């Protein structure tokens, strides 16, 4: 009878040994909570609206948004990222950079309520604001026009910074967007406002529930001509990251997270700025749906999904479970 000399199980024997040996940790400060704020119900003084495909997530009124932000702060969540649902949409997404636009008003509310206690980010894109649902301006033949869109993005960045945002997060995947936004911010006196670039953002089926949540499904076509192809090798993502950092990105993001952990790892290995990963609406919906059917242990699955994203190398994780998980970790 011979005995194995190497026994990896030794360090797994007790909970205390496992806790001491865990190299990857999750803490509330690493989590960023995505939040939706909707103009028409805010104006009507109505109630927050549940999102059917994302049980537990709502479209907020300005009032309920403030309360939920306070809750996130109490739980120790590191940041929150705001998405706006305007009452009126048009071809150029006018309300995105309107000083009275819903995100700008909500940002000002949050600065008053929780400013300084949590990092306030804003998603910077046009798809929630355009009547056609695309992330940029359209040419006459219906293609998304990269370069004219850049001016819109710079203007939105300035509107958000004026309203008090801490970090702008461009998600439209236009070439040159980080440089354009950096220049716009600098020129307007916001040289200190950081940019978290959605650098490697894939054309993903996992955004399905978000398009209900933010009411931004493209009215024709899809986003395949600007978001990345899931079938491309990781080097394309690394190129996008390198370009964004060269253009002045202060932090970069990979999105979605769960099906792109190889990309997260590759980016984390080379980026000299913080890397975040976005656990998107579909990732949330899948676990909630399986748990609702009793097919999966919800609480364990949530923590496992998040620790995996951290293990792949993400410094921060955007997750709709941020407040709940932060409360559980405390
Ligand atoms: C675009 C944007 C999207 C998401 C975040 N920003 C949707 C898209 O690109 O179609 C998706 C987030 C999620 O699915 O949770 N402004």
Radius of gyration of the chain (CA): 20
Q: What percent of the chain has pLDDT over 70?
A: 100
Segment 210-236 mean pLDDT:
93
Residue 74's pLDDT band (boundaries 50, 70, 90)? very high
Taking only the tens place, the pLDDT of each residue in 148-204 is 999 999 999 999 999 999 999 999 999 999 999 999 999 999 999 999 999 999 999
Contact 195, 182 (CB under 8 A): yes
The ligand 1 atom nearest the CA atom of 201: 9
* C-alpha 280, offset from chain centre: 8
The token duo for 230 is: 């899931």
* C-alpha to C-alpha distance for 103 and 97, rounded to whole angstroms: 9
Residue 212's pLDDT band (boundaries 50, 70, 90)? confident
Q: Is 123 in the pocket of ligand 1 (CB under 6 A)?
A: yes
Q: Give me the pLDDT at residue 45, please.
A: 85
Q: What is the DSSP string of 156-178?
A: HHHHHHHHT-SEEEE-S--TTHH
Report the nearest-CA residue for atom 10 of ligand 1: 207
Q: Is 97 in the pocket of ligand 1 (CB under 6 A)?
A: no
Residue 312 has what DSSP assignment?
A: T
Whether residue 147 is predicted with pLDDT greater than 90 in this model: the reply is yes
Query: How many Å lie between the centroid of ligand 1 and the Cα of residue 33?
Result: 14
Q: Give me the pLDDT at residue 318, please.
A: 98
* C-alpha to C-alpha distance for 104 and 110, rounded to whole angstroms: 10
Contact 287, 258 (CB under 8 A): no
Helix (H, G, I), strand (E, B) or coil at 122: strand
Q: Where are the domains of the chain?
A: 25-329
* C-alpha to C-alpha distance for 322 and 89, rounded to whole angstroms: 30
Q: Give me the pLDDT at residue 101, please.
A: 98
Contact 323, 33 (CB under 8 A): yes
Whether residue 134 is predicted with pLDDT greater than 90 in this model: the reply is yes
Q: What dotted CATH number matches 25-329?
A: 3.20.20.70
Report the nearest-CA residue for atom 8 of ligand 1: 207
Q: Is 277 in the pocket of ligand 1 (CB under 6 A)?
A: no
Q: Give me the pLDDT at residue 215, please.
A: 86
């Amino acid at each position: 009878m011979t005995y194995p000399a190497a026994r990896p199980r030794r360090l797994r024997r007790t909970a205390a040994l496992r806790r001491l040996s865990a190299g990857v940790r999750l803490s509330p400060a690493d989590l960023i909570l995505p939040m939706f704020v909707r103009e028409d119900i805010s104006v009507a003084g109505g109630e927050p609206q549940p999102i059917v495909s994302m049980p537990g997530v709502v479209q907020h009124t300005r009032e309920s948004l403030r309360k939920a932000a306070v809750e996130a702060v109490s739980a120790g969540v590191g940041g929150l990222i705001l998405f706006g649902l305007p009452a009126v949409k048009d071809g150029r997404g006018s309300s995105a950079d309107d000083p009275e636009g819903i995100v700008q008003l909500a940002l000002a509310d949050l600065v008053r309520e929780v400013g300084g206690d949590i990092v306030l980010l804003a998603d910077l894109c046009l798809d929630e604001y355009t009547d056609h649902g695309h992330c940029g301006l359209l040419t006459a033949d219906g293609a998304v026009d990269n370069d004219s869109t850049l001016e819109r993005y710079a203007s939105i960045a300035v509107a958000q910074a004026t309203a008090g945002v801490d970090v702008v997060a461009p998600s439209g995947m236009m070439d040159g967007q980080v440089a354009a936004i950096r220049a716009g911010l600098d020129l307007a006196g916001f040289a200190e406002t950081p940019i978290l670039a959605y650098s490697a953002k894939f054309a993903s089926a996992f955004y399905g529930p978000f398009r209900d949540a933010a009411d931004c499904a493209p009215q024709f076509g899809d986003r395949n001509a600007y978001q990345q192809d899931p079938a491309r090798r990781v080097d394309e993502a690394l190129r996008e990251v390198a370009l964004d950092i060269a253009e002045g990105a202060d932090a970069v993001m990979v999105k979605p997270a769960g099906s792109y952990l190889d990309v997260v790892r590759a980016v984390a290995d080379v980026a000299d700025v913080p890397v975040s990963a976005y656990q998107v609406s579909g990732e949330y919906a899948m676990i909630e749906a399986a748990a609702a059917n009793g097919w999966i242990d919800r609480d364990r699955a949530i923590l496992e999904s998040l620790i995996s994203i951290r293990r792949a190398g993400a410094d921060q994780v955007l997750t709709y479970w941020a407040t709940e998980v932060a409360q559980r970790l405390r």
